[in-house]
Amino acid sequence: MAMQFYASPEQIMRDRAEYARKNIARGRNAVVLSCADGVLFVTENVSTALHKVSEIYDRIGFAAVGRYNEFENLRRAGVRMADLNGFSYDRRDVTGRMLANAYAQTLGAIFTDQTKPFEVEICVAEVGATPADDELYKITYDGTVHDFPSGVLAMGGTSDTIVENIHEDHSPDEPLATALRLAVRGLGTVGEGAPRTLPSGQLEVAVLDRSRTGRTFRRITGAALTALLERSGSGQ
């Protein structure tokens, strides 16, 4: 009878974590910043068909890096959960914290129970009445939740480098154009050939607009994005 290969639980968890980190690092990064106008999402994305930044609910946005089909399934599940809770109870009961905890439970169960973990990092952000009220959460492949009261969040294999580059110059009260400049600068500090200049065609940008009532999510594309980059000094 063949002997079954044995690996300790600790080794299995380490291997899964290393597998997820390695594959997430192969993708492109994303930055989420609080600013005077709301919560800004900026990510490198050369595809116009596959979004890495999306709306979850009225004042809640979603961003992700890693394997698209996996985080898209998570996004859809979050939308369904938010709609169900908002319809069954009250729209004010749907919060970023609630969704972050739900995602943490889901990713934690997948990491522990399934052979292959999800190769994703996701952000759930909720815009508040003021920058101090914004809530930014990052949930990693193993279900760990991190909150960012500083209003600066980055995802991807080189997220620490990006945060170090922009953290000192970031202010929650800065205008949208300044926040965009910092985000683009941070993304340009990593990757092949860094430092890099990122044109508007390689960026996916959206904002949870603090001034709006009801649904606050809006994308910034085309001429509007080009003009904002030129105002920020990042345009080429």
Over the Cα atoms of the chain, what is R_g? 18
CA dist 129 to 37, 164, 208, 209, Å? 10, 27, 11, 10
Global pTM value: 0.92
pLDDT in tens, 175-193: 999 999 999 999 999 877 7
Q: Determine how β-strand 53-57 pairs with β-strand 30-35.
A: unpaired
Beta strands in the chain (DSSP E): 30-35, 38-44, 53-57, 60-66, 120-126, 135-139, 145-147, 152-155, 203-209, 217-220
Whether residue 43 contacts residue 53, with contact meaning beta carbons closer than 8 Å, is answered with yes
Whether residue 140 contacts residue 49, with contact meaning beta carbons closer than 8 Å, is answered with no
Return the H-helix or E-strand segment holding 20: helix 9-25
Residue carrying structure tokens 């209003």 = 151
Q: What is the pLDDT of residue 236?
A: 44
Stretches where the chain sits below pLDDT 70 are: 1-5, 194, 233-236
